[in-house]
Structure formats: structure tokens, C-alpha cells
Structure 1
């Protein structure tokens, strides 16, 4: 979901509509950067909160 939100933000910020005949790598990079950073944040949260999560959800 966050990756798609990044894509939507990218396309909203574009002042020129990209031509379908040219390949632009920027939207793909935006998607993967946001996707991977969000996933890394979730993994770090799971690692540091494992003890608390074990108490809350045994």
C-alpha cells in the first residue's frame, strides 16, 4: 500500500504527463524504495517489540 501511495505522490507531483512511448525508471524506483523502507521499518519493529508482543498476544 505504501508503495502505491508513493507512486500516486510521484504522479501528482509530475508537471508533465509521461509519454507512454518512453520508459521512465523513476516511478519504479519510487515504488521499490517506499516498499522496502516500509518493510524494513516493520521488520525492525517486530524485532524490538518481540518481547512485548509475546506478552500481549501469547
Structure 2
């Protein structure tokens, strides 16, 4: 049963990565030391993904 969960997780991850930058959740963005912004990333930050419905995940450079 664990193998089935693992295959499902890998398939979801691969489908997100196939479109370029993955859509990541708010908590995953914070885990990567990023922050979600509604529009563009502010100065001195870089785009590391999109926060699903919240906008862009940006990380300080």
C-alpha cells in the first residue's frame, strides 16, 4: 500500500514539473525559505515557483 502512495506522489510531482516551475503550496514555499506574493516578486528576490492561488513564491537573494 505504501508503494501505491509513493507512486501517486511521484506522479503528481512529475505532472507539476512538466509544466516548468511547479505549483507549490504556501507551507512548501515557506519551507524553502520563500514567501508568497500576489503579483510580481519584489526587488532583491527571485521567483522559485507559484503559490497555487496565492500568486508567486519568491526567495531573497
TM-score, with length taken from structure 2: 0.34
**Structure number with higher strand proportion:** 2
Larger-gyration structure (1/2)? 1
**Structure number with higher helix proportion:** 1
